Structure 1
Amino acid sequence: MTTNTTSKSPEAAAVPPSGPAPVTKRVPQGHKRLLTRRDRITLGFMAGVPTVLHVALVWVTALASIALAFTSWDGIGFDSIKWVGLDNFKQLFTDNPQFWPAVEHNVIWFVVLILIPTPFGLFLAVQLDKKIRFSRLYQTAFFLPVVVSLAVTGFVWQLVYNPDTGLINSLIGANKP
């Protein structure tokens, strides 16, 4: 018969052992991806295609235009491009009588567009923000042309002005047989 000399009392079992906590090795489970491979490919196409088109059609052409400003080219064939440096600009500033009046008109337009529409637009925005009668109607009248697509606006006007079935001709009775 064997006797258990290492039996513990219930009080001893409730006391944690002294010393440093045992080190447990944490098994990496990997991180879950929020986007699947298909989602990433779709997102790449949705962001990549417009970006490539924008860069090709806007930035490359703009930079090519800047580069061509320093050349002499008749527009036919790339082999006829000749580098002239700043001669084009020298000729533009000195020999072209239309250049400086055009610059003056552009500056006038710029100043007028800065001084009139911007403060007037801010004034209207402040007025529309106030609690005045029919403010929602005014807001709709101001912002509807901005919100509605130009194509939809054109389609609506086509319906209004149609000579056979248009709204105006129907109202005045011009399209009756």
Structure 2
Amino acid sequence: MDRRAFLHSGVAVAGVALAGCGSDAPMGTLATYVSDRPGDIGDFDSCVVSVDEIRVLPTAAATETEDHEGDELTFSVGGVTLDLVDLTGEAAALADTVELQTGEYVYLKLGVSAVEASLSDGGTAMVSTPGNAHLKFPHPFEIRADETTRFTADFTPVAQGETGRYVLSPVAEETTVRYES
């Protein structure tokens, strides 16, 4: 990245950060829901996921590089636990709501701090996220003034062969965004 692009991205990030500080900045609500597409979840009697963090990336802070961690807005969720077995099909559970400045956002990430799972056959399963990282949902969305953006992050455990190990995988085609007044 050349110096001009670097300075431009720094100004954009600072503008996004400072824009939320003023009391006159228009705000909207992000309601993050979790759902589970049917798949290998059928192997489980329970698959309890603890969500501890939500991260979003404002479009103004996006750069051409893959690593935006310093530019993400991070919100602590406070250890919400959700059983994915109960969230198959159209079912979804609210993870948290946060107030955000109006504008466009590139993606949402969920921080999963723990997974406790038991298989239908009575065994236990090792369930993790890819690379033990946040689950990333690269689904652009908008925060609108005085509205609620309902972002439903859909993911499912995927069996890793016959090892008893599963990886939580985002399901892009089942992730949805709706706008409610």
TM range (shorter): under 0.3
**Relative contact order, CA 8 A, sep 6+: which one is greater?**
2
What TM-score results when the alignment is normalised by the length of structure 2? 0.20
Please give the TM-score of this superposition, normalised by the length of structure 1.
0.21
